[in-house]
Amino acid sequence: GQSLEQPSEVTAVEGAIVQINCTYQTSGFYGLSWYQQHDGGAPTFLSYNGLDGLEETGRFSSFLSRSDSYGYLLLQELQMKDSASYFCAVRDQDNAGNMLTFGGGTRLMVKP
Amino acid sequence: DARVTQTPRHKVTEMGQEVTMRCQPILGHNTVFWYRQTMMQGLELLAYFRNRAPLDDSGMPKDRFSAEMPDATLATLKIQPSEPRDSAVYFCASRQGANQPQHFGDGTRLSIL
């Protein structure tokens, strides 16, 4: 089985940096993904880490440590539009990594 | 910009009625997923198909739910009979390959009265 833990809510101010952590327990591991979902919208893909280290895409970065079963999403220069829910998701060896198991999501509120 | 298309966007119906949700995956994507999202349970995988073949539907209540992919451009999720506890947002997602991200549709917001 799989389980993922991430904080339920995070609040930050515009222009700041925020880190959303995700710890996971899986029976095997292929990679960790991050998705963003605005209220009333669809989840959209942000990043994927298959190997240890940092992946950077513009203002967003994602980090993975497989030995610690831990990853995080880093959002820099926060903007009001970044207010959304952020989900980590694992590909694990169940179904040969074909499926994603999602965490419960972290609701990020960006304040002026 | 290629998108996953879901219909209907909203559905309100009375319990006991049949509900059919449709999904058109992105052209060329060979894997299609159905998810259900609720406040209590979060985002749950119901079923998925690869090359139109069902690979896993263990997340789906078998007595009332069924998922099919009659052709490569259409996936359907049916609930019969529907119950109030089925009220949720149902998302379809498609993917081109195992290492590719999933692309989600805008969802069907289902309310069963």
Following DSSP, what letter does each residue of B46-109 receive, concatenated?
A: EEEEETTEEEE-TTS-TTTEEEEEEETTEEEEEESS--GGG-EEEEEEEESSTTSPPEE---EE
Strands B74-79 and B19-24 turn out to be antiparallel
- % of chain A exceeding 70 in pLDDT: 95
What is residue B69's predicted lDDT score, i.e. its pLDDT?
95
Q: Which of B45, B101, B104 sits opposite A42 (nearest CB)?
A: B104
Contact yes or no for A85/A36 (Cβ under 8 A):
yes
What is residue B5's predicted lDDT score, i.e. its pLDDT?
97
CB contact under 8 A, B42 and A95: no
pLDDT tens digit string along A81-92? 999 999 999 987
Q: What is the C-alpha separation between B1 and B62, in angstroms, rounded? A: 35
Q: Which residues, 6+ apart, have CB-to-CB distance to B25 below 8 Å?
A: B4, B32, B72, B73, B75, B92, B94
